[in-house]
Amino acid sequence: MKLAGDIGGTKTLLAMIEHPSDGPILLREEAFNSQHFKSFDALLDAFIAPGEVIDNACFGIAGPIIDDTCKTTNLPWRITGDALRKRLGTNKVKLLNDLEAMAFGMLELPQEDLITLQQGNIEARGNHAVIAAGTGLGECFLHWDGAKFQTMATEGGHVDLASQNELQDDLLRYLRGRFHDHVSVERVLSGSGFGVLYDFIVTTQRAAESSLVPPADHVGGADRNAVISQLGLQKTDTACRQALELFVDVYGAEAGNLALKGLTH
């Protein structure tokens, strides 16, 4: 069997797969709250059944992979290829940055799974860029080496946040007061970014505070960021709607910046 994993700061998804000649077959999969485990080994113990034999494994991890090792960005975990080879009993273990894994997966998507936001001139073997906001912001490039696509992982989510207009000028000033060390684009383009943007809208009196949104210091109960994004999508709360619109504006600008940096086409 093959073991595949998507390891994120909030959620980890693991799957057991068989791969006959006619294509992969999903045997079982399970999602875990990453924050509930002290280590990746502990999480594997919760998933792998006694007696299961793993032939090879591949993990996409939210964090940079250096020398076959990842110190996860938003978790206190250290994951090494060598330790996993011993743990799983196979030499065939590959660690990838999570956006690299996503990029390779996107190459396999059928056309019906894709949505075109803005039509362009597509070159099948041109450079590709991938951007994905989750617990943090991930960015990655794909380039054609003459035989196949290769990935180039980045830590682009930690670059400086740039302003596009007067509203975002005010946002940047607000963020500099809130995050004194560094205002990265990930401060906005991430799950926690919804709360940050909502707080900006309310603090600067652009809209009234919502009674439906939990306070920033609440413990337990509904996920504050999820509530803000849901109310924004429903357009039932002005502050949440403005926060979501600002999120999308910054997301679009960063996607455009990434396309320029990767000369995508």
Q: Tell me: the pLDDT tens digits for 102-158?
A: 999 999 898 899 999 888 887 889 999 999 999 899 999 999 999 999 999 999 999
Pairing of strands 128-133, 93-97: unpaired
pTM confidence score: 0.87
pLDDT band at 33 (very low <50, low <70, confident <90, very high): very high
- Output the pLDDT for position 26: 94
Question: Has residue 265 been placed in a domain?
Answer: no
pLDDT, tens digit (0-9, with 9 covering 90-100), for 212-264: 999 988 877 789 999 999 999 999 999 999 999 999 999 999 999 999 999 99
12 with 100, same domain? yes
The partner residues of 18 in beta bridges, in order of sequence, read 25
Range of the domain at 225: 166-256
Q: Which of 76, 106, 136 is the last residue of a domain?
A: 106
- Residue by residue, DSSP assigns 189-258 as SSTTHHHHHHHHHHHTTSSPPPTTSPPTT--SSS-HHHHHHHHHHHT--HHHHHHHHHHHHHHHHHHHHH
At residue 24, the pLDDT reads 86
Average pLDDT, the chain: 94
Phi/psi at 133 (5° precision): -95, 130
The backbone torsions φ and ψ at residue 85, rounded to the nearest 5 degrees and listed phi first, read -60, -40
The percent of residues above 90 in pLDDT, for the chain, comes to 85
152 occurs within a structural domain: no
For residues 97 and 171, membership in a common domain is answered with: no
Task: Report the C-alpha gap between 228 and 197 in whole angstroms.
Answer: 10
Residues 171 and 102 in one domain: no
Handedness of CA 71, 73, 77, 80 (dihedral sign): negative
pLDDT attached to residue 219: 74
CA 6 – CA 107 distance, rounded (Å): 17
> Do residues 99 and 173 both lie within one domain?
no
Could you tell me the pLDDT band of residue 95, with boundaries at 50, 70 and 90? very high
Q: Span 6-26, mean pLDDT? A: 91
Final residue of a domain: which of 106, 133, 152?
Answer: 106
Q: Is residue 20 over pLDDT 90?
A: no
Assess whether pLDDT exceeds 80 at residue 192.
Answer: yes
Query: Is 156 a domain residue?
Result: no
State how many domains the chain has.
2
Regarding whether 102 and 13 lie in a shared domain, the answer is: yes
* Main-chain phi, psi angles of 166, to 5 degrees: -65, -40
Q: Is 245 within a domain?
A: yes
Q: CATH code at 252?
A: 3.40.367.20
pLDDT of 119:
85
pLDDT reported for residue 203: 97
For 187, residues 6+ apart whose C-beta sits below 8 A from its C-beta are 161, 175, 179, 193, 196
CA distances to 100, 101, 155, 187, 239 from 158, rounded to whole Å, are: 17, 20, 6, 9, 26
Residue 18 included in any domain: yes
73: confidence class by pLDDT, cuts 50, 70, 90: confident
Q: Is the pLDDT of residue 43 over 90?
A: yes
Residue 115 forms part of a structural domain: no
Residue 137 within a domain: no
| CATH code (residue 71) | 3.30.420.40
Assigned domain for 70 exists? yes
Q: Is the pLDDT of residue 19 over 90?
A: no
